Amino acid sequence: MDKVYMPQETIILPKEICEVPYSNEVDYATFSRALRDDKVVASYKMYWLLALLDEISLGNFEIEFRTLICKMVVKAWYPLLKYKLSFGLCDNLAKVATYISDTYNLESNYDERKLFDFIYSSQDKTLNKMLKELTLNVPYRFLSPFFENKLRGQKKVQKLIEELSKEDNECIYEIYKNNKDENCIRIKDNWCNYLKFNYRIIQGWAYYKLVCFLQKRNPNVPGIAMKLEAPKNRDLREQTKIWKQVIEKRHITDLYTGLDFTERNYNDYGVLSIDHFIPWSFVLHDQMWNLVPTFKNINSKKSDNLLQYDTYIDSFCEMQYEAFCFVVDENRKNQIEEYGQVLKVDNLRKFKKENNEDEFVKRMKQEIGPVYGVAVNQGFGVLENFTWRII
């Protein structure tokens, strides 16, 4: 793993994520064991720490369990619902997110602030029971490395950890009930500055541990590190310009309707729109070999779904061949490099000259077929009958 991408496009390098920062004021070595690989069987501890760091960055050092649990759900929302990542059989965050999404018809790109407010203020008894269950272990287990000797041989440790957290000054926080009888944590004085001033590095460490955790449970999924949050706006202007030229010079038609790209059809079906044949939320790139031009309304209907492979793959590859020939003839270096990677060819001019369309299609299918299959297995929907008509 070369680097981990974090919110606000911050890049955390390997040397910053292998260990937590040194300190002579806190027991950083014991803290680092909280996310030790052999102690992590679910995503809870990573998301608990990330939620905790968010609150600390806002200057909050006394925090309700409910606030942190709701933030955990919000942070897991996008990778679970948009990217359909597996969190493993032992992880119940997916159940909570799926319940909310299905019950209240909230989309994967629902605003984070609104989502938090919705969950936090919810009166839904089923949801609140699920949230309550998430508080039964992680707030306590996160502190367990600080009390390993005292917990050894104990079965029910939550109450003991709560008591120890009040007595011990070395652990990160104490667990207590506020005047509303709600479970809360209070960050210890010696940890406040450490967590606040090392916020960025510790956040990077937590994301790194989360990526490692998710990669083990999603071994065939590309770009795990880029699937932890909603993406920034993407720019497809260059690809759109190329496809407009391909449409004009090679007279291709829409893959999904067979219609010509004319002003009349743009009026009926929407303006030109660039679609990812295999959803962007799976491949996480905008390379030409996975893009096709279509109409905006049709692209919106297809959304983040796959289409029937056997129905569309031949026409898709034929359209791609037209684009491939165009970028080679026009010497579009970035796109030539992209096609070179997927076709596994160094000299594309020579390949185009010495091979016919059949060889191009064969190589494209060899690459796209397996990616399509993994996307299906990951849970991306396949539209059985993709039809369109003007209403």
The pLDDT, as a whole number, for residue 389 is 57
- Whether 384 has a pLDDT exceeding 80, the answer reads yes
Report the greatest alpha carbon distance in the chain: 79
- Specify whether 10 is located in the same domain as 147: yes
Give the Cα separation of 368 and 381 in Å (integer). Answer: 17
The pLDDT, as a whole number, for residue 19 is 74
- Whether 80 has a pLDDT exceeding 80, the answer reads yes
Q: Which of 226, 251, 269 is the last residue of a domain?
A: 226
- Specify whether 145 is located in the same domain as 258: no
Burial 21-40 (b: 16+ CB within 10 A, else e): eebeebbbebbbebbeeeeb
Is residue 47 within 8 A of residue 75, CB to CB? The reply is yes
Query: Any alpha helices (H) in 24-142, and if so which ranges?
Result: 28-32, 44-57, 65-81, 93-104, 112-121, 125-134, 138-141
Give the Cα separation of 205 and 12 in Å (integer). Answer: 9
Tokens of 208: 């790194």
Residue 5 is classified by DSSP as: E
How high is the mean pLDDT of the chain? Answer: 89
Asked if residue 388 is part of any domain, the answer here is: no
Is residue 151 within 8 A of residue 173, CB to CB? The reply is no
- Specify whether 241 is located in the same domain as 212: no
Q: Which of 226, 253, 279 is the last residue of a domain?
A: 226
pLDDT in tens, 256-272: 999 999 999 999 999 99
pLDDT in tens, 313-336: 999 999 999 999 999 999 999 999
- Specify whether 215 is located in the same domain as 242: no
Asked if residue 391 is part of any domain, the answer here is: no
- Specify whether 72 is located in the same domain as 212: yes
Q: Which of 173, 193, 226 is the last residue of a domain?
A: 226
Structural domains in the chain (count)? 2
Axis-axis angle for helices 357-378, 333-343 (nearest 10)? 80
- Specify whether 171 is located in the same domain as 314: no
- Specify whether 160 is located in the same domain as 38: yes
- Specify whether 115 is located in the same domain as 142: yes
Asked if residue 304 is part of any domain, the answer here is: yes
Residue numbers of the domain that contains 181:
4-226
pTM: 0.70
Average pLDDT over residues 45-65: 94
Q: Which residue has the tokens 């606000």?
A: 8
Asked if residue 231 is part of any domain, the answer here is: no
pLDDT in tens, 155-176: 789 999 999 999 998 999 999 9
